[in-house]
Structures are given as structure tokens and as C-alpha cells.
């Protein structure tokens, strides 16, 4: 069987012996680069496109040949590698099959030894934790005694006496010194705390006595203060009732005055509304009378025009009916007709002229009437009525004829 040193003497393949086959293709790189690098082919033409394809073919031929050569050169190496891995795997499997049972025995014993060590370590940990708990229990009595009365601390000291003056080596072993120190320190601390508690209790008793004396004094002062407060409260009540009665009377007086002022304000408002209503009614009446006068004027003008048309039509019919019978009297009749028509026209025109001349007087009378109602002046209101009647008479009565 070969040793590892002998296995190291196996011949190693020299890669340079195989890579020399690539040299012709490496040389072709420089030749093809010089020939084709940067060349632009006119691929728009069939001749240029064929030239580009030929160049590509020439460049890629070494690529294909190199790939074929690579596979040929690598095939023996791959076979050699597979054989090396297979033999090594066979050796490893056979030897591990012999070594595994021995390794299992070794690991089982090592695990048993480690378990025994761990059991001892855990037992020691538990023992130390128990000792620590006992020592801490001794020291914990100091915390339990904090703030407690002296009788309670005395009972704790009495309980510690059960330990004796010294701790047992059988119980504490290598930590007996630590336990003894904790016991001695705890007894000393408890004795000091008992003395301090007794001093506090004595001081507290003294302070309690003083507190009782002070409380009695304060109680007497509070009683006196309550009496004074009650007297002051009675005085305040009487003053408050007097003040409330005065305020109530003043409030009633103010309410009465406010009611009076409110009544006056309402009366003034009612009077103002009545005056505004009278003004509005007067304005409405004036407007109505003005509109009535205008309507009358329009009706009379329309009646005049209608009568004029009707008279003309009647006259036309009369002339046509009596033309032959009154041929000779036609001129005279026509003259008389014209005179009558002229007289009627002058009468109508005079009446219209009276209406037009009376309109401003009527409007002034209406405005005078409105002002009189707004101010409530009865004399001016009577004058306005007289002016209105005079304006109506002037508009409707004919003027005396002049000779």
C-alpha cells in the first residue's frame, strides 16, 4: 500500500504541452485584426453584403476550430479527473467503514465522561445556590427589620440565637467563614437597629405627647375661630339681606322706569307709523285724483273726437239723402253747419284749455293736502280742500263770454 509521500510522487500533467496547439489561432487574431478592424462594408449592395459575409466567415472559422480543439484537448483530462475522484471516493468509503465503529465507541465514552462532569457541576451549582440562599437569608433579616419597632427586631435577634455562636462546618463547608461573617455582621446590625428603634420610639413618644398638647391648643383656637366666623357670617348675612333688598327695590324702580320709557317709545313709534300711513294714504289719494282727472280728460277728448266723427258721418249721410231736395239750401246749410262746428270746436278747445290750466292748480292743491296731513295742520288741510274744490270748479265751469 502506498503511503501519502509515495502518492505525492505521481506525475502531474504539464498544461504547456497541450496549450501549444492554440498558437496558430492566437497568431490569426493579429492577422485578422489588422485585416478587418474598423472596416465598413457597403451592405446596401449585394456585392458589399457578400464581402461582409465572407469576412465574418473568415473571422469565425478559427473560433469554431478552437472550440473543436478545446474539446479534443480536454477529453483526456476529464477522463483522468473522473478516475482520480472515483478511486479517492472508493478508498474513503472503505476506510471510514472500518473507522466509524471505533469512532462511535470513543464518542460514547467521551459523552459519558462529559455527562458525569456535568452532573457533578450541576450538583455543585445547586449546593452553592443553597448555601447562597442560607447566607442571604441571614443577611435578609436586616432588610426585614428595617423600619420595624424594637420589639419586632428583638424577636428577630432571638430567632438568630438558634444558630448558636458559630456556624456548622457540616452545613456550610468551605463557605463556613462567609456564613460566620454574615451571622456576626447581621447580629451587630440588628443590635444597632434595635437601639436606633428604641431611640426613635422614645423620641416618637415625646413628640406624641407634645403633639397632643399642641392639638388641644389648636382645638381651642379653632373653636374660638369658628365662633368668630359664625358671628362674622351672621353680620355678613344681615348686610347681604339689606343689600339684596336695596338692589331689589332699585331693580323694581329701574324696571318701572324702563316700562314707562318703553311705553313712550311705543307710543312715539305708533304715532310715527300713523303719520307715515296718513302720508301714504294722502299720496295715494292725490295720485288717484290726478289719475282720475287725467282719465276724465282723456275720456272727454276721446268723446269729442268720437262725436266729431259721428257728426261728420251723420252730416255726410244727411247731405247725401237730401242733396237733391235741398240743392238750393245746401250752401246756407253748409254755412250754418260750419258755424255750428266752429262754435263747438271753440267750446271743446276752451274746455280742454280749462282742464290743462287747472291741472297744475289741482296738483298744487294735492301736494298742499299731503303736507297738511303729514304735519297734522288742520287749517292748512282745510285750505288744501278749498284749493282742490276751486281747481275742480275752474276745470269744469265755462268762463263768462266776452262781448
R_g over Cα of the chain: 74
Question: Residue 167: what are its φ and ψ, rounded to 5°?
Answer: -85, 160
Question: How much is the pLDDT for 3?
Answer: 47
As a dihedral over the C-alpha atoms of residue 219, residue 225, residue 226, residue 232, rounded to 10 degrees, the angle is 180
Count Cβ neighbours within 10 Å for each residue of 311-336 and write b for 16 or more, e otherwise: eeeeeeeeeeeeeeeeeeeeeeeeee
Phi, psi dihedrals of residue 214, rounded to the nearest 5°: -65, -40
Dihedral-angle region of residue 39 (phi above 0 means left; psi in -120 to 50 means alpha; beta otherwise): beta
Nearest to 179 by CA among 165, 167, 163, 164: 167
The CA-atom distances, in angstroms, between 328 and each of 314, 322, 331, 332, 334 are 20, 11, 7, 8, 11
Would you give per-residue pLDDT tens digits along the chain (403 residues)?
Answer: 554 444 444 444 556 666 777 888 888 888 989 989 988 999 999 999 999 999 999 999 989 988 998 888 888 878 888 888 887 888 888 778 877 888 888 888 889 999 999 998 998 888 888 878 877 777 787 887 788 888 888 887 777 776 655 666 677 777 778 877 887 788 788 888 888 888 888 888 889 888 998 888 889 888 888 889 998 998 888 989 888 888 888 888 888 888 888 888 888 788 888 878 888 887 788 688 878 768 887 788 787 788 878 877 877 787 777 877 777 777 887 788 888 888 888 888 877 777 777 777 777 777 777 778 788 778 777 887 888 787 777 767 666 555 4
For the CA atoms of 384, 389, 390, 392, the dihedral, rounded to the nearest 10 degrees, stands at: 120
**Which residues contact residue 163 at a Cβ distance below 8 angstroms, ignoring those fewer than 6 apart?**
138, 183
CA 287 – CA 149 distance, rounded (Å): 114
C-alpha dist (Å) from residue 346 to 294, 343, 396: 21, 5, 15
d(CA 96, CA 90): 10
Rounded distance between C-alpha atoms, residue 330 and residue 116, angstroms: 175
SS3 at position 14: coil
Q: Say if residues 357 and 398 touch (Cβ distance below 8 Å).
A: no
Would you tell me how many other CB atoms lie within 10 Å of the CB of residue 359?
16
Enter the C-alpha cell of residue 379: 287749517
Fill in the DSSP letter of residue 163. G
Q: Which of 289, 255, 260 is nearest to 365 (CA)?
A: 289
DSSP string, 231-297: HHHHHHHHHHHHHHHHHHHHHHHHHHHHHHHHHHHHHHHHHHHHHHHHHHHHHHHHHHHHHHHHHHH
Closest-CA residue to 333 (of 323, 345, 343): 323
| DSSP helix, strand, coil percent of the chain (3-state; round to 5) | 90, 0, 10
User: Do residues 62 and 25 lie in contact, with contact meaning Cβ atoms separated by under 8 Å?
Assistant: yes
For 169, other C-beta atoms within 10 Å of its C-beta total 13
End-to-end Cα spacing for the chain: 186
| 113-116-118 Cα angle (round to 5) | 110
Please give the biggest Cα pair distance in the chain: 189
Cβ(149)–Cβ(201) below 8 Å: yes
Quote the pLDDT of residue 12.
Answer: 47
**DSSP label of 324:** T
C-alpha dihedral, 333 to 339 to 343 to 345, nearest 10°? 90
pLDDT score at 52:
92
Amino acid at each position: 500500500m502506498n503511503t501519502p509521500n509515495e502518492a505525492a510522487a505521481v506525475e502531474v500533467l504539464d498544461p504547456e504541452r497541450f496549450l501549444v496547439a492554440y498558437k496558430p489561432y492566437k497568431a490569426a487574431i493579429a492577422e485578422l485584426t489588422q485585416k478587418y478592424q474598423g472596416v465598413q462594408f457597403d451592405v446596401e449592395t449585394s456585392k458589399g453584403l457578400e464581402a461582409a459575409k465572407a469576412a465574418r466567415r473568415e473571422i469565425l472559422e478559427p473560433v469554431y476550430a478552437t472550440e473543436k480543439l478545446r474539446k479534443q484537448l480536454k477529453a483526456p483530462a476529464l477522463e483522468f479527473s473522473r478516475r482520480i475522484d472515483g478511486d479517492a471516493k472508493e478508498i474513503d468509503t472503505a476506510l471510514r467503514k472500518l473507522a466509524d465503529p471505533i469512532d462511535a465507541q470513543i464518542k460514547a465514552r467521551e459523552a459519558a465522561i462529559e455527562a458525569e462532569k456535568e452532573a457533578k457541576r450541576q450538583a455543585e451549582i445547586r449546593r452553592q445556590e443553597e448555601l447562597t440562599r442560607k447566607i442571604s437569608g441571614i443577611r435578609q433579616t436586616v432588610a426585614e427589620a428595617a423600619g420595624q419597632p424594637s420589639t419586632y427586631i428583638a424577636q428577630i435577634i432571638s430567632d438568630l440565637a438558634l444558630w448558636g455562636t458559630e456556624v456548622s462546618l457540616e452545613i456550610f463547608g468551605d463557605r463556613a467563614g462567609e456564613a460566620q461573617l454574615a451571622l456576626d455582621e447581621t447580629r451587630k446590625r440588628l443590635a444597632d437597629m434595635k437601639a436606633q428603634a428604641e431611640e426613635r420610639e422614645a423620641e416618637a413618644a415625646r413628640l406624641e405627647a407634645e403633639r397632643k398638647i399642641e392639638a388641644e391648643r389648636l382645638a381651642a383656637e379653632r373653636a374660638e375661630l369658628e365662633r368668630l366666623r359664625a358671628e362674622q357670617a351672621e353680620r355678613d348675612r344681615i348686610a347681604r339681606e339689606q343689600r339684596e333688598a336695596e338692589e331689589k327695590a332699585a331693580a323694581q324702580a329701574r324696571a318701572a322706569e324702563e316700562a314707562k320709557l318703553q311705553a313712550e317709545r311705543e307710543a312715539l313709534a305708533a304715532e310715527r307709523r300713523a303719520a307715515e300711513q296718513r302720508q301714504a294714504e294722502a299720496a295715494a289719494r292725490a295720485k288717484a285724483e290726478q289719475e282720475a282727472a287725467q282719465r276724465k280728460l282723456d275720456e272727454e277728448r276721446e268723446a269729442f273726437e268720437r262725436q266729431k266723427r259721428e257728426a261728420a258721418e251723420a252730416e255726410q249721410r244727411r247731405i247725401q239723402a237730401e242733396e237733391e231736395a235741398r240743392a238750393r239750401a245746401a250752401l246756407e246749410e253748409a254755412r250754418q253747419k260750419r258755424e255750428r262746428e266752429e262754435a263747438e270746436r271753440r267750446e271743446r278747445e276752451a274746455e280742454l284749455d280749462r282742464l290743462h290750466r287747472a291741472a297744475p292748480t289741482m296738483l298744487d292743491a294735492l301736494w298742499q293736502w299731503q303736507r297738511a296731513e303729514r304735519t297734522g295742520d288742520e287749517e292748512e288741510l282745510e285750505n288744501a280742500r278749498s284749493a282742490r274744490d276751486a281747481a275742480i270748479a275752474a276745470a269744469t265751469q265755462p268762463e263768462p263770454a266776452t262781448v
